[in-house]
Amino acid sequence: QVTLKESGPGMLQPSKTLSLTCSFSGFSLSTSGMVVSWIRQPSGKSLEWLAAIDWDGDKYYNPSLKSRLTVSKDTSNTQVFLKITSVDIADTATYYCAPRYYGPYYFDYWGQGVMVTVSS
């Protein structure tokens, strides 16, 4: 059974770095073909795909945010991380992680999401 849980600071100040963790079970990111994506959603708005990392450590970023994003994984292949530098109010959103085993890259599993508020 695939389960995912995102965690983060809840609230942080503008200009700080946001660090998020996606902890999962039911699959391993060491499995060839696995990819985990990060997606966010401001309250009442649509979804935005941010970044992904695959089993081989290859990383993929949304060009609109690429300069501020870093995606990584732990050596046990059970957690994925996302860092967003220089946050501002526009980064206030619920952040989700979502895995996919090989393409095509629609998302059949989602975490519960973690809400992050950027406020001074």
Tokens matching residue 46 = 């649509």
Judge whether 7 and 75 are in contact, CB under 8 Å.
no
> Which of 19, 21, 23, 62 touches other proteins (CB under 8 A)?
62
Query: Which range touches other proteins (CB under 8 A), out of 11-19, 21-29, 41-49, 67-75?
Result: 41-49
E runs forming strands in the chain: 3-7, 11-12, 18-25, 34-41, 48-54, 59-61, 69-73, 79-84, 93-101, 114-118
> Which of 82, 113, 114, 116 touches other proteins (CB under 8 A)?
113
Q: Does residue 117 belong to the site contacting other proteins (CB under 8 A)? A: no
Q: Which residues contact other proteins (rule: CB under 8 A)?
A: 37, 45-49, 60-64, 96, 103-108, 110-113
